[in-house]
Structure 1
Amino acid sequence: MPRHRVLVPLRWSDMDAYGHINNTQFLCLLEEARVAAFALPDGRSMAVDGVIVARAEIEYLVPLVHRLSPVAVDVWVSAVSAAAFDLCYEVLDDPGTLGSGPSDAGRNGAADGVGVGVGGANGAGNGGAIGAGDGVGGGGEDRTVYARAATTLVAFDLSAGRPRRLTEVERVHLAGWQDDPLTFRRRGGVRR
């Protein structure tokens, strides 16, 4: 399955008065993962040519508390049309980063000084630098999934101020990341 994993550090300011990561900050986690994961093969970001979020849906499953280790965000494409595409996300623990440092002993994580990293969804990152990664996601490991989400992104011509068609390079790139859409629990429906 062509899911890609991005490791995103949690910030102290992401936490709210209830002691967990605030629901609005999950949109920021998704944005960080999306920007890091979707670089084009030539090194440009799809955002250079213009991509805007038209819709976002998040299903919160388990409270995520602040910790020093990063949270993993698996990202994949669930649908591609002429001028838009849908991304799906799972915000979860990455077994390779939990419990690896003294600062978080006994808590949900530990690695100090970890930056945003992209790697295969098997947890192999690239040492904290932002870049493109390959890998297979899902896996059968025991994991805590904190949230599931989906966004619809529209290709946008920034200079003209209107939607545009996806380029062939973008369509091919996105097709390589395509996997099954999420099923949200509450609605029981499939997000396409």
Structure 2
Amino acid sequence: MGAFVAEVALRWSDMDAFGHVNHARTITLLEEARADLLFTEAEKQGLLGMAEGMVVARVVIDYHSPLMYAARSLQVRMSVRDLKAASFVLDYTAFAQEAVCTAETLMVPYDLRAGRPRRLTAEERDFLSEWRAEQLEAHRA
């Protein structure tokens, strides 16, 4: 299917003293895009379990140009790679007028009641496979 695309609105409060969106806010914007895929889109497809426990184990972000508040929104394209039994990686490319950053998060399904990681269900794996990318090296270059 390719990349899932989320549109995330920029808020005035995302801007720092230098007039661009700061690092912590950029991470939050990517989180909002990720929630659109893993929670909203998954729920639309009848999959409710992901919203009950999913944690970020690692996040990496590379900036290519400043994200200015004037852009008003950020388009975030996400794809899944390294889909394993108990983890997966989400790759992001975020655009305003141009690519402003690329990022990845290592996601781990988590059982909140047991207080420990869990395996992905077959349904979760099927859902994530819809957004799988064979190779995303072009956005890393």
- The normalised TM-score by structure 1 is 0.66
- Distance in 1 (alpha carbons) for counterparts of 2:136 and 2:105: 11
| Pair 1:44 & 2:53 matched | no
- Distance in 2 (alpha carbons) for counterparts of 1:144 and 1:51: 30
Paired position in structure 1 for 2:35: 35
Query: Which of the pair is proportionally richer in strand?
Result: 2
SS in 2 for 1:87: strand
SS in 2 for 1:153: strand
Q: Which runs of 5+ in 1 are unaligned?
A: 94-142, 186-192
Superposed CA deviations along residues 93-120 of structure 1, whole A, max 9, x for unmatched, are 3xxxxxxxxxxxxxxxxxxxxxxxxxxx
- The normalised TM-score by structure 2 is 0.88
- Percent identity of equivalent pairs: 39
| Pair 1:8 & 2:8 matched | yes
Instruction: Give the counterpart letter for 1:66 in structure 2.
Output: Y
Report the Cα offset of residue 43 of structure 1.
5.3
- For these two proteins, the number of residue pairs brought into alignment is 135
Report the Cα offset of residue 24 of structure 1.
1.4
Paired position in structure 2 for 1:23: 23
SS in 1 for 2:6: strand
Q: Which runs of 5+ in 2 are unaligned?
A: none
5 Å matches for 1:158-173? 158-173=112-127
Report the Cα offset of residue 47 of structure 1.
2.2
Decide which of 81, 86, 90 is 1:87's aligned counterpart: 90
- Distance in 2 (alpha carbons) for counterparts of 1:181 and 1:51: 23
- Distance in 2 (alpha carbons) for counterparts of 1:169 and 1:34: 18
5 Å matches for 1:49-128? 50-67=53-70, 69-93=72-96
SS in 1 for 2:22: coil
Q: 1:51 to 1:44 in 2, by over 3 A?
A: same
Which structure has the larger Rg over C-alpha atoms?
Answer: 1
Query: Which of the pair is proportionally richer in helix?
Result: 2
Cα RMSD of the aligned pairs, angstroms, is 1.7
Report the Cα offset of residue 70 of structure 1.
1.5
CA contact (8 A) 2:47 2:124 kept: no
Instruction: Give the counterpart letter for 2:100 in structure 1.
Output: Y
Q: 1:43 to 1:67 in 2, by over 3 A?
A: farther
Superposed CA deviations along residues 51-90 of structure 1, whole A, max 9, x for unmatched, are 1000000000000111263110111101200000100001
Report the Cα offset of residue 23 of structure 1.
1.4
